[in-house]
């Protein structure tokens, strides 16, 4: 008989991307923008550095690399919303990098450029954290930036008001980022839900089409096998004993497919036909305890393999195989009766899958 027709992979849509991908955080454009931001950062800091020493450059390089790593990590973590602990670690690291950049500003430099460039990376990190769903952490980063700037101003004998322009980039980025993320994330979640429903509908349609194709192929195969027999009956021709046996075997095979759906396979059909040809009574039943669609290949092989071995080994008597109803520890039974001797094997459900006992 024909087997099920699988749906081509090209007809199935890709799996649902995660929310950061839907928002576009992992797009090439965003990566390019990060590269432009990093290049601008380096050019601005180097071009306005004045007479910087090796230790200052080491500290500035450390702060720059730390900020870039924070930004890329906030984008790359797959879980969404961003885990709170991860957002907190990234925020603390980013603020730490900002503090290092401020505390090691080169002397004789252009102060306002040196003071306002490092917060640009902190603002980018805070914005990504907000888009990743951690609004509170992003807000705390703005507060933390303002606090670090105020402490720096007092420590370096500047007016406390200096903290405002120093931290304005972070504050000015976090507020709109939180507002935009608060509007965009529900929309992206709705898009994800709609995408999931689309995938479910496509899978259902693919399964329905595969079932219809299989039914058509089975009917075509049945017509090819049965039509000659029916034609001979209509013509009034006599059947030989072997032809009558072949017709009975075909009828019983068709009955097996209807009554013992989970048992149905080419190997089982062949073994049952051979056993019946030897005069053995074979009956297959399916009471619905196993879902054929969710049955793994390993469990299917375990289940049907034992029946094939039993049918192959039987020399006389009868073999009855039954899939038990749902809700039982035992999934299937095989009873072998040969005269006064009876033998039963049970297939039980285990955490590792089906197993015969």
Q: Cα separation of 318 and 279, whole Å?
A: 9
| pLDDT at site 48 | 67
More confident residue, 46 or 76: 76
Q: End of a domain among 149, 180, 199?
A: 199
Q: Is 354 left (phi over 0), alpha (psi -120 to 50) or beta?
A: beta
Q: Calculate the alpha carbon distances from 237 to 222, 230, 240 in Å.
A: 21, 10, 10
Q: Is the pLDDT of residue 141 over 60?
A: yes
Q: Is the pLDDT of residue 348 over 70?
A: yes
Q: Are residues 178 and 40 in the same domain?
A: yes
Q: Are residues 175 and 313 in the same domain?
A: no
| pLDDT at site 8 | 43
Instruction: Note the pLDDT tens digit of each residue in 212-229.
Output: 887 787 777 767 767 777
Q: Is residue 13 part of a domain?
A: no
In angstroms, the first-to-last Cα distance of the chain is 31
| pLDDT at site 69 | 93
Q: End of a domain among 155, 180, 199?
A: 199
More confident residue, 195 or 120: 120
| pLDDT at site 133 | 84
Q: Is residue 44 part of a domain?
A: yes
Residue with tokens 């689309």: 198
More confident residue, 357 or 166: 357
Q: Is residue 332 part of a domain?
A: yes
Mean pLDDT of the chain: 81
Q: Are residues 162 and 82 in the same domain?
A: yes
Q: Are residues 153 and 293 in the same domain?
A: no
Q: Cα separation of 118 and 113, whole Å?
A: 9
Q: Give the lowest-confidence range in 70-79, 104-113, 153-162, 277-286.
A: 104-113
Q: Is the pLDDT of residue 321 over 90?
A: yes
| pLDDT at site 94 | 92
More confident residue, 122 or 178: 122
Q: End of a domain among 165, 183, 199?
A: 199
Q: Is residue 246 part of a domain?
A: no
**Res. 9 pLDDT band, cuts 50 70 90:** very low
Q: Is the pLDDT of residue 109 over 70?
A: no
Q: Cα separation of 77 and 87, whole Å?
A: 10
Q: Give the lowest-confidence range in 16-30, 47-61, 128-142, 226-240.
A: 16-30
Q: Are residues 276 and 192 in the same domain?
A: no
SS3 per-residue string spanning the chain: CCCCCCCCHHHCCCCCCCHHHHHCCCCHHHHHHHHHHHHHHHHHHHHCCCCCCHHHHHHHHHHHHHHHHHHHHHHHCCCCCCCHHHHHHHHHHHHHHHHHHHHCCCCCCCHHHHHHCHHHHHHHHHHHHHHCCCHHHHHHHHHHHHHHHHHHHHHCCCCHHHHHHHHHHHHHHHHHHHHHHHHHHHHHHHHHHHHHHHHHHHHHHHHHHHHHHHHHHHHHHHHHHHHHHHHHHHCCCCCCHHHHHHHHHHHHHHHHHHHCHHHCCHHHHHHHHHHHHCCCEEEEEECCCCCHHHCCHHHHHHHHHHHHHHHHHCCCCEEEEEECCCCCCEEEEEEEEECCEEEEEEEEEECCEEEEC
**Res. 68 pLDDT band, cuts 50 70 90:** very high
Average pLDDT (129-151) is 87
Q: Is the pLDDT of residue 78 over 70?
A: yes
| pLDDT at site 195 | 76
Q: Is residue 218 part of a domain?
A: no
Q: Are residues 187 and 297 in the same domain?
A: no
Q: Is the pLDDT of residue 53 over 80?
A: no
Mention every residue, 6+ apart, whose C-beta is less than 8 A from residue 348. Answer: 329, 330, 331, 354, 355, 356, 357
| pLDDT at site 2 | 39
Q: Is the pLDDT of residue 85 over 80?
A: yes
Q: Are residues 352 and 274 in the same domain?
A: yes
Backbone phi, psi, residue 345, to 5°: -125, 140
Instruction: Note the pLDDT tens digit of each residue in 203-214.
Output: 888 878 887 887
How buried is 77 (Cβ within 10 angstroms: 0-12 exposed, 13-18 middle, 19+ buried)?
Answer: middle
Domain coverage including residue 313: 262-356
Q: Is residue 306 part of a domain?
A: yes
* Percentage of residues of the chain with pLDDT beyond 70: 88
CB 345 within 8 A of CB 357: yes
More confident residue, 181 or 38: 38
Q: Are residues 275 and 193 in the same domain?
A: no
Q: Are residues 169 and 57 in the same domain?
A: yes
Q: Is residue 233 part of a domain?
A: no
Q: Are residues 52 and 148 in the same domain?
A: yes
Q: Are residues 96 and 174 in the same domain?
A: yes
Average pLDDT (310-333) is 91
| pLDDT at site 222 | 67
Q: Is residue 301 part of a domain?
A: yes
Mention every residue, 6+ apart, whose C-beta is less than 8 A from residue 158. Answer: 152
Q: Give the lowest-confidence range in 74-78, 88-92, 236-240, 275-279.
A: 236-240
Which of 86-95, 101-110, 191-200 ranks highest by mean pLDDT?
86-95
- Closest C-alpha to 56, from 106, 13, 19: 106
Instruction: Report the side by side order of strands in the sheet with 341-350.
Output: 281-286, 318-323, 330-338, 341-350, 353-356
Question: Considering its fold, how many domains does the chain have in total?
Answer: 2
Average pLDDT (81-95) is 92
Q: Are residues 165 and 278 in the same domain?
A: no
Q: Is the pLDDT of residue 309 over 90?
A: yes
């Amino acid at each position: 008989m024909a087997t099920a027709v699988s749906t081509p992979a090209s007809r199935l849509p890709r799996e649902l991307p995660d929310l950061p991908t839907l928002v576009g955080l992992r797009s090439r454009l965003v990566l390019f923008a990060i590269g432009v931001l990093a290049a601008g950062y380096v050019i601005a800091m180097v071009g306005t550095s004045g007479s910087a020493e090796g230790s200052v450059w080491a500290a500035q390089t450390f702060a720059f690399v730390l900020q870039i790593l924070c930004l890329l990590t906030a984008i790359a973590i797959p879980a969404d919303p961003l885990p709170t602990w991860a957002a907190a670690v990234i925020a603390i690291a980013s603020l730490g990098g900002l503090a290092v950049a401020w505390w090691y500003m080169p002397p004789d430099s252009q102060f306002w450029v040196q003071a306002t460039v490092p917060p640009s990376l902190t603002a980018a990190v805070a914005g990504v954290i907000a888009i990743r769903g951690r609004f509170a952490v992003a807000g705390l980063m703005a507060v933390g930036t303002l606090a670090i700037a105020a402490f720096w101003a007092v420590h370096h004998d500047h007016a406390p008001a200096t903290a405002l322009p120093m931290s304005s980039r972070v504050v000015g980025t976090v507020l709109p980022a939180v507002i935009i993320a608060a509007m965009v994330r529900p929309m992206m979640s709705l898009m994800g839900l709609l995408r999931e429903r689309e995938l479910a509908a496509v899978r259902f349609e693919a399964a329905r089409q595969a079932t219809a194709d299989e039914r058509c192929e089975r009917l075509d195969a049945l017509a090819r096998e049965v039509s000659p027999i029916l034609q001979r009956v209509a013509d009034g021709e006599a059947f030989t004993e072997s032809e009558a046996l072949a017709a009975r075997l075909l009828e019983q095979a068709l009955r097996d497919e209807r009554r013992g759906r989970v048992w149905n396979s080419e190997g089982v059909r062949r073994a049952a036909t051979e056993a019946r040809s030897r005069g053995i009574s074979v009956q297959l039943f399916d009471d619905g305890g196993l879902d054929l669609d969710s049955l793994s290949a390993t469990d299917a092989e375990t289940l049907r393999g034992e029946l094939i071995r039993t049918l192959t080994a039987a020399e006389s008597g009868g073999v009855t195989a039954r899939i038990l109803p749902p809700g039982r520890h035992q999934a299937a039974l095989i009873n072998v009766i040969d005269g006064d001797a009876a033998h039963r094997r049970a297939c039980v459900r285990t955490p590792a899958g089906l197993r015969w006992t």
